[in-house]
Amino acid sequence: MRTNTVAKEPGAGAVWTARFLVTLFSVSLIVYLWTKWFSVSVPLRSKPAAVNAAGLKASLISWNAAGSYVGKYVTVRGKIAASHNTGKVCMLNFHPDYRKHLTLVIFSGSFHNFPEYPQKYYLGREVTASGLVKEYNGKPEIIINSPEQINVLN
């Protein structure tokens, strides 16, 4: 009596395994890139009070008082009234006259941590921002390196 048997090609299992691994890698890469490119980095909920590197709670002050706190770690509150992005730096201003008033500064090296167009995202929104007040060209500024430093209130 004759039996029909299917002869397996040599290495067929290896081909299947290779295809499976390539598919698994591709799906993993797509999921990883999706989460990096399309996630919103800035939550719209309240966060705990900011603390500096020494673990001290930041003082909450009005944005227009920041000039009196140069060298201090503070949290400022106010509405972003003007903004500008040069491609190298994004400036968020609490007053249209940026030459005299506090500016929040995001450098291009940190852009990947924030929404795609931070100058549009934060414009017109009430925020709190925490950081070290520095003086640059005679006016106060706070460097913002991560979304944890800035909290959208509305």
Domain presence at residue 21:
no
Whether 86 is in a domain gets the answer yes
| Residues 42, 152 contacting (CB under 8 angstroms) | yes
> How far apart are alpha carbons 124 and 101 in whole angstroms?
16
Residue 89 lies in a domain: yes
**Among 67, 98, 102, 65, residue whose Cα is nearest residue 84:** 98
CA torsion through residues 148, 144, 68, 85, sign: negative
Q: Please count the other Cβ atoms lying within 10 Å of the Cβ belonging to residue 144.
A: 23
As for how many domains the chain has, the answer is: 1
Tell me whether residue 26 is in a domain: no
Note whether residue 64 is domain-resident: yes
Return the CATH number at 93. 2.40.50.140
**Using one digit for the tens of pLDDT, what is the confidence trace for 53-110?**
555 566 788 898 899 999 999 999 999 999 999 999 999 999 998 888 999 999 999 9
Query: Does residue 132 fall inside a structural domain?
Result: yes
What's the pLDDT at 86?
A: 94
Q: What angle do CA 59, 130, 107 make, to 5 degrees?
A: 155
* 128-144 pLDDT tens trace: 999 999 999 999 999 99
Average pLDDT over residues 31-42: 57
Express the helix, strand and coil content of the chain in percent, nearest 5 each. Answer: 30, 30, 40
Residues 6+ apart with CB under 8 A from 57: 49, 50, 51
Residues in CB range of 58: below 8 A, 6 or more apart? 49, 50, 51, 52, 73, 74, 75, 130
pLDDT tens, residue by residue, 17-29: 888 888 877 777 7
Buried b vs exposed e over 29-67: b needs ≥16 C-beta within 10 Å? eeeeeeeeeeeeebeeeeeeebeeeeeeebeebebeebe
In a domain, 15, yes or no: no
Residue 4 in any domain: the answer is no
Domain residue limits at 94 = 59-152
